[in-house]
Structure 1
Amino acid sequence: MRGIYITANDRFLDLSIALLNSIRHYDQETPITLIPYDENVQEVADYLSKHYQVKLYSDLDTIQRISDQALKIFGDSFFARPNQFRKQVCWFGDYDEFLYIDTDIVVFDKIIDQLDAFDKHDFLCLDYQHSGGIKNVFSPTIFEEGVLSEEDVNGIFNGGWWAGKKGLFDEADLYDVFAECAAHPSYFDFSQKTSDQPIINYMILTRLKPEQRFNLVHQGDGLPGSWAGSSQFLPTGDGALLDPNHGNKRLHYLHWAGIRITPGCPYWDIWKHYRYLNSSVVPPDSELVPKVSLAQRVRKWLKK
């Protein structure tokens, strides 16, 4: 049984709508499960259930247990966003084969079909994070101490899109990895306040053999990119993008990792297209600019 997991709360309703509109535009059948990012999830859960047949992750006790253990092992100052570790319940959910997708993504095809590569591998990713080296994931220390080899850099992936098989890890495996990482913070690059990405990379690269994991961009002569920070993508005319750096191939998805999705951001028209794909009224950009609260203005002033 295959399915898709996402994680969100009420604050990310708009992002969730855009993602789900894109998924359901190409795929009406694949089951989708929402992992609550925190307790503020009632609005997004109700909306996604009503419009996209998204169900809430049923074992809330496991989510809480993993959250509690992560906090106990790492403490409350190790990460900027510790709740991101809740996505690790993907390993214990309903789907034998699953795809995890961040909500700052839209897809351009029946994305679940990428899991066909599971006939040869146990873990999949689909991005060019590795082309940037170890930035935002590891520090040189992890190689200097022999924990990973230089060849392992090619296995680095982005934590916003990855796929695995149920039971590949159990809870004890997660906590062992958490403990190892907490004991060696010098292994990681947290300069951009990333949270789970370095840790899940550590888990996959240290626990799985190279033949078990595969980056799908290495198929054939290479697949197109996916990061919205890449400026070369061209519109297809039907709500998708092409990558001229890879033979004008159609992107499988676009990810605004590290980019705030707001009018004027890269590929804003693509995101807005999917956010209002099924809406009778599309608001002007001037109404979609996030309002800056007084507290946010004060923090910005103090930072300056």
Structure 2
Amino acid sequence: MNKPKEQDQDHQDQIYILGNDRVLDQAIALLNSIRLYDPETPVVLIPYNDKYKEAAAVLGDRFGVTLFPDLTILEWLDATIEEMFGSDFFARPQQFRKQAAWFGKPGRFLYIDTDIVVFERIIAVLEYLQTYDFICCDYQHRGGIQNVFTPAILEAPGFSESVLAEIFNCGFWGSKTGLISASDWEAILAECAARPDYFDFSQKTSDQPIINYLVLKQIPNRFNLVHRPGGAPGSWAGSKFRQRDWRLFDPNMNQPLQYLHWAGFRLQPGCPYWALWQHYRDLNDWNESKRRSPRSPKFRFRLPWQS
């Protein structure tokens, strides 16, 4: 297991997803929505754990998804988390594997959770990285600091009330390789491990508090797209939107949604916008004999952190 090495190659925009066999149907829904608008952008699967072979094969065959090329980086991420925090501190330490995106192929990248579907050529949001070094697009900050920080974070150098107003959801964000080095990552983890009282883990969140600390401290040139001129639509499945032909419209912002995120919801019958999610899962005739039913007692749709 080795630290990531500095790379010097041609740059290319990429999309990263984190997943395994258990969330294959979620990944299919996401990829169906991505490929509906964008057949070409490379998509890379970061394995959530060792049970990813079926997902890698299906997503590779249907959508051209490739596997993250250096699995030793994932081992290094796992090892640094355990070394700094111990093996039992985080409820779902595998979530930190999404941070492999910082150490992937040089260029700009967009990370997307598998409990998301998109409604446009979503890679286009990376054009904001011509001006900024990090982007997100959500209203997490309106809920305050809970599930991310505690008031003690104000003791940390550089963390003012205005900085805390920039917290974000870790399910959809974009940046550039090279901004965070292996040494940066280890130093940030050491700082966080030394002050666990800075963070709100009461709802068993794992990576979101630490990654917010990393970005808010290390990347000052950041931008939440909801602050662009004219604002941006919502994206959370717990909000009320209008549906038009398998897309959603935010009546408060008078704009179509760019993406929908089922953060905090189990994808199953009765969850918000279930029929919409089913539509994208079933798009392009996913093989009925292979699709696993959410009603089966042997399989229930869960977010990766509910594994």
Output the TM-score relative to the length of structure 1: 0.91
Q: State the Cα deviation string for residues 1-59 of structure 1 (Å, max 9, x = none).
A: 10100010111111111111110011001000001111111000000000000000111
For the 8 Å contact 1:22–1:106, the answer to whether it is kept is: yes
Query: Within 2, Cα distance between the matches of 1:280 and 1:2?
Result: 27
**What number of residue pairs does the alignment pair up?**
286
For the pair 1:244 / 2:251, whether they are aligned, the reply is yes
For the pair 1:52 / 2:59, whether they are aligned, the reply is no
Letter in 2 for 1:275: R
Query: Within 2, Cα distance between the matches of 1:73 and 1:224?
Result: 38
2:142 match: 131
Letter in 1 for 2:234: G
2:37 match: 26
For the pair 1:229 / 2:238, whether they are aligned, the reply is yes
1:115 match: 126
Letter in 2 for 1:265: C
2:264 match: 258
1:270 match: 276
1:92 match: 103
Query: Within 2, Cα distance between the matches of 1:282 and 1:11?
Result: 17
Note the residue ranges of structure 1 that are not aligned, 5 or more in a row: 294-304
For the pair 1:217 / 2:203, whether they are aligned, the reply is no
Letter in 1 for 2:112: I
For the 8 Å contact 2:104–2:177, the answer to whether it is kept is: yes
For the 8 Å contact 1:262–1:290, the answer to whether it is kept is: no
For the 8 Å contact 2:136–2:173, the answer to whether it is kept is: yes
Query: Within 1, Cα distance between the matches of 2:25 and 2:295?
Result: 13
For the 8 Å contact 1:276–1:282, the answer to whether it is kept is: no
Q: What displacement does 1:290 show?
A: 4.7
Query: Within 2, Cα distance between the matches of 1:62 and 1:145?
Result: 29
Note the residue ranges of structure 2 that are not aligned, 5 or more in a row: 1-11, 300-307
Letter in 1 for 2:235: S
- Give structure 1 regions of 4+ aligned residues with deviation exceeding 6 angstroms: 280-283
Instruction: Say which is worse superposed, 107-116 or 139-148, in terms of deviation.
Output: 139-148
Q: What displacement does 1:91 show?
A: 0.8
For the 8 Å contact 1:228–1:267, the answer to whether it is kept is: yes
Query: Within 1, Cα distance between the matches of 2:168 and 2:296?
Result: 30
User: Percent of counterpart pairs with the same letter?
Assistant: 53
Query: Within 2, Cα distance between the matches of 1:252 and 1:136?
Result: 25
| Structure possessing the higher relative contact order (Cα contacts under 8 Å, 6 or more residues apart) | 2
Output the TM-score relative to the length of structure 2: 0.90
Query: Within 1, Cα distance between the matches of 2:21 and 2:49?
Result: 9
Q: What displacement does 1:145 show?
A: 5.0
SS of 1:245's equivalent in the other structure is coil
Higher-helix-fraction structure: 1
For the 8 Å contact 1:82–1:196, the answer to whether it is kept is: yes
For the 8 Å contact 1:137–1:198, the answer to whether it is kept is: yes
Query: Within 1, Cα distance between the matches of 2:138 and 2:286?
Result: 34
Q: CA 1:40 to 1:280, structure 2 compared with 1: closer, same or farther past 3 Å?
A: closer
Q: What displacement does 1:192 show?
A: 1.2
